[in-house]
Amino acid sequence: MLNKDSGNDAFERLLTRTIAHEISPSYEQCSYGMETFLLSLSGELLQEQEERMRAHLLICPRCTGRYDSLATRVHQEEEELSESVHDSSLVAHLKRKAAQPGGARQRAFAWFTAKPGSARIAIGGGVAFLLICLIVVSSLTIHRMPAHGAHKSNGNMVAKGGPLAVANVPSTSVLTPKSLIEKLDAIGGYDTWRAAAFIIGYLRAAGVPLESVSIAFEHQTIYVTGDDDTWETVSQKVLGDKDLWPIIILLNRDRTVNGEFPPVGTVLRVPVPTE
Amino acid sequence: MDLEEQCRESRLVFWERILRGIPIDPLEIDREILSLITDSSPREKMAFILLRAAATLAGTGTSATTRTLRIAVVYWFSNASPSPSIDLDRELDSSSLSIRDIVGLGLSWREAALLFGANPRDYSAYQRLIQALRKECIKQWEVIFGESMEKLIAEVRVE
């Protein structure tokens, strides 16, 4: 204590005791979830909510632990993401090539998007087919994962190459070459992640294990899994289309075992759609 | 979450603002907390009055008083609780300080003063602040709760 006056000294003791009580740990039930923490970490919480949450962290050891651990993971993810911009995967490579001023692909893309819908279906299909041929050839040379028993039998998913190696993932009727081309045309764009949807569809149709495919996007962000999330809901929230869930799996292969959806609070990598 | 915890969180939000030098209208504190603590323990009442008195001093005092108060908030909170996971090598910046950054650091008055570019040897500033805060607390306790706070201080003096 700095103060020697007895009255002030007693008051100061009362004061320091009061301050200590203000930040003593509380073990009450609280309602803060990972979503709030993630919003805070991304600077998206309203100031009032942010202040309240910060105050709560001062007294709730449980939330402090969860928040700090999430902050560490998010930080690590961000570092990894900044490194993955220089990824050498095919999709990233094509994207970079397309972005080169005056490049052949940029001109081809401009030409492509100027075409009417029906022509784009045909052209898109052709381009995608070439891309897929490239990837299928390279992928087939990579180690092929054994198939797992939990795979759902579905006419569209069990293709010529045999059953897929990804188990326990949602079935969908969209992931066929034809329907993907239609979807691409309906979306009306040809950017990286939509191209990836193409590629994935072809790979699945050909029975190539998704585990053998490498994929990265130039613009990625993170998503923390919530209580009711599935691959499809994450795809819907992030890409606006539940049927593009294989992209989410591909980006998070190290976070899933046999295609199982990871536990609540897992930080997933997700692409940022470019419109 | 029970009422006391809720009030505690609200008070910490206000303390955080005082630490950052953001002006607070004591009536805002009343609106958020007063009705919840009228039947509470003396400890809760003291926490409320202390915050209210600090907000009053910050609002009515000179810029030097406000700065001394901010230094004092750093000093109090940094010594209020030990923290097992503090990073002692972390650099502190008075413009972006938060209570969470300082809890457990155990700063001396000198160190806290240096953070704000104040004279680290001027301990009298702290003594004057304690005196002013005590006066303000006693005054506000009487106005708000209609009784004397001296009894509470006397109990502490006896211990």
Q: What is the mean pLDDT of residues B55-72?
A: 94
Q: Are residues A204 and A134 in the same domain?
A: yes
Contact B153 A22 (CB under 8 A): no
Query: How close is the nearest chain B Cα to the Cα of A74, in Å?
Result: 19
pLDDT for residue B85: 53
Contact call for B12 and A22, based on CB within 8 A: yes
Tens-digit pLDDT profile for residues A201-251: 666 666 666 555 555 565 677 888 888 899 889 988 887 778 778 778 777
Q: Is the pLDDT of residue A101 over 70?
A: no
Residue of B nearest to A64 (CA): B100
Confidence of residue A275 (pLDDT cuts 50, 70, 90): very low
Distance of CA A134 to the CA centre of its chain: 25
Q: pLDDT tier at A129 (50, 70, 90 boundaries)?
A: low
Contact at CB, B11 and A22, closer than 8 angstroms = yes
Cβ A106 vs Cβ A100: under 8 Å: yes
How large is the average pLDDT for residues B5-19?
95
Out of B9, B47, B154, the one facing A55 most closely (by C-beta) is B9
Query: Does residue A111 sit within a domain?
Result: yes
Number of folded domains that form chain A = 2
Q: Are residues A232 and A153 in the same domain?
A: yes
* pLDDT, mean of residues A95-121: 45
pLDDT band at A183 (very low <50, low <70, confident <90, very high): low
pLDDT reported for residue A112 = 41
Residues B103 and B81 sit within 8 Å (Cβ to Cβ): yes
Q: What is the pLDDT of residue B133?
A: 95
Pairwise CB contact (< 8 Å): A24 & B81: yes
Phi-psi group of B146: left, alpha or beta (phi > 0 → left; psi -120 to 50 → alpha; rest → beta): left
Global pTM?
Answer: 0.60
Q: Which residues, listed in sequence order, are joined to residue A107 by a DSSP beta bridge?
A: none
* pLDDT above 90 (res B46): yes
Whole-number pLDDT of residue A182:
54
Do A155 and A21 sit in the same domain of this protein? Answer: no
Q: Which of A76-90, A152-166, B140-154 has the highest mean pLDDT?
A: B140-154
Reduced to 3 states, what is the DSSP secondary structure of residue B100?
Answer: helix
| Mean pLDDT value across residues B7-16 | 96
Domain boundary among A84, A103, A132: A84
Q: Which of residues 39-68 of B touch A (CB under 8 A)?
A: 43, 46-47, 50
Contact A58 B154 (CB under 8 A): no
Which residue range forms the structural domain that includes residue A76?
6-84
In the predicted model, what is the mean pLDDT of residues B30-48? 91
Does the structure show a pLDDT above 60 at A171? Answer: no
* B143 touches A at CB < 8 Å: no
Q: Look-up: residue for tokens 């992928």?
A: A139
Q: Which tokens is A89 given?
A: 């995967």
Render pLDDT for A144-161 as a digit per residue (tens, 0 to 9). 333 332 233 232 222 222
Per-residue confidence (pLDDT) for residue A207, from 0 to 100: 64
Q: What are B128's two structure tokens? A: 């004057």
Cβ–Cβ below 8 Å for A58 and B134? no
Query: Between A232 and A190, where is the model more confident?
Result: A232
Placement of tokens 């909510």 in the chain: A49
Q: Does residue B55 surpass a pLDDT of 50?
A: yes
Whether pLDDT at B42 is above 80: yes
A223 or A259, which is more confident? Answer: A223
Residues 6+ apart with CB under 8 A from A6: B157
Q: Are residues A37 and A77 in the same domain?
A: yes
Contacts of A27 in chain B (CB under 8 A): none
Average pLDDT, chain A: 64
Pairs of residues, one from chain A and one from chain B, whose beta carbons lie less than 8 Å apart = 101
> Looking at chain A, which residue has its C-alpha nearest residue B12?
A55
Q: Which of A68-77, A190-199, A248-257, B117-126 has the least mean pLDDT?
A: A190-199
**CA A19-A20-A26 angle, 5° bins:** 115
Residue B13: list chain A partners with CB under 8 A: 51-52, 54-55
Residue A236 domain flag: yes
Nearest CB to B77; choose among A23, A31, A59: A23
ipTM, two decimals, is 0.91
Between A242 and A258, whose confidence is greater? A242
Q: Cβ B46–A5 below 8 Å, yes or no? A: no
Let me know whether A108 and A236 are in one domain. Answer: yes
Closest residue to B152, CB basis, from A14, A28, A30: A14
**In terms of domains, do A198 and A267 share one?**
yes
pLDDT for B52 equals 97
Which of A47-51, A243-247, B2-6, B107-111 is predicted least confidently?
A243-247
What pLDDT is attached to residue A154? 30
Same domain (yes/no): A65, A122: no
Q: Which residues of chain B have a CB within 8 Å of the CB of A8?
A: 127, 130-131, 134
pLDDT band for position A79 (cuts 50, 70, 90): confident
Nearest CA in chain B to A61: B83
A16, A31, A54 member nearest B16 (Cβ)? A54
> How far is it, in rounded angstroms, from Cα A199 to Cα A108?
19
The alpha-carbon gap from B12 to the nearest alpha carbon of chain A, in Å, equals 5
Residues of chain A contacting B99 with CB distance shorter than 8 Å: 23, 54, 58
Residue A182 tokens read as 């239609």
| Chain A nearest-CA residue for B101 | A58
Binned at pLDDT 50, 70 and 90, residue B137 comes out as very high
> CA torsion sign, B92 to B94 to B95 to B101?
positive
pLDDT of residue A132: 55
- Tell me, yes or no, whether A146 and A22 share the same domain: no
Q: Where are the domains of chain B?
A: 3-158
Do A200 and A74 lie in a common domain?
no
Residue B135 pLDDT:
94
**Residue A220 forms beta bridges with which residues?**
A271
pLDDT on residue B130: 95
Partners of residue A29 in chain B, C-beta under 8 Å = 1
B9 touching A (Cβ < 8 Å): yes
Report yes or no on A114 lying in a domain: yes
- Do both A191 and A150 map to the same domain? yes
- Work out the average pLDDT over B101-126: 91
B23 SS3 class: coil
Q: Work out the pLDDT band at B116, boundaries 50, 70, 90.
A: very high
pLDDT, average across residues A28-40: 82
More confident residue, B124 or B156: B124
Is B156 an 8 Å CB contact of chain A?
Answer: yes
B86 touches chain A (CB under 8 A): no
The pLDDT assigned to B94 comes to: 72
- Spatial distance between the Cα atoms of A202 and A42, rounded to a whole number of angstroms: 35
β-strand partners of A223:
A268
Q: Map chain A to HEC letters.
A: CCCCCHHHHHHHHHHHHHHHHHCCCCCCCCCCCHHHHHHHHCCCCCHHHHHHHHHHHHHCHHHHHHHHHHHHHHHHHHHHHHHHCCCCCHHHHHHHHHHCCCCHHHHHHHHHHCCCHHHHHHHHHHHHHHHHHHHHHHHHCCCCCCCCCCCCCCCCCCECCECCCCCCCCCCCCCCHHHHHHHHHHHCCCCHHHHHHHHHHHHHHCCCCHHHCCCCCCCEEEEECCCCCCHHHHHHHHHCCHHHHHHHHHHCHHHCCCCCCCCCCCEEEEECCCC
Q: Is residue A1 part of a domain?
A: no
**Of residues B49 and A74, more confidently modeled:** B49
B2 touches chain A (CB under 8 A): yes
Of the three residues A84, A118, A147, the one that is the final residue of a domain is: A84
pLDDT for the residue B1: 62
Interchain proximity A24–B11, CB inside 8 Å: no
Same domain for A38 and A114? no
Q: Among A37, A67, A84, identify where a domain stops.
A: A84
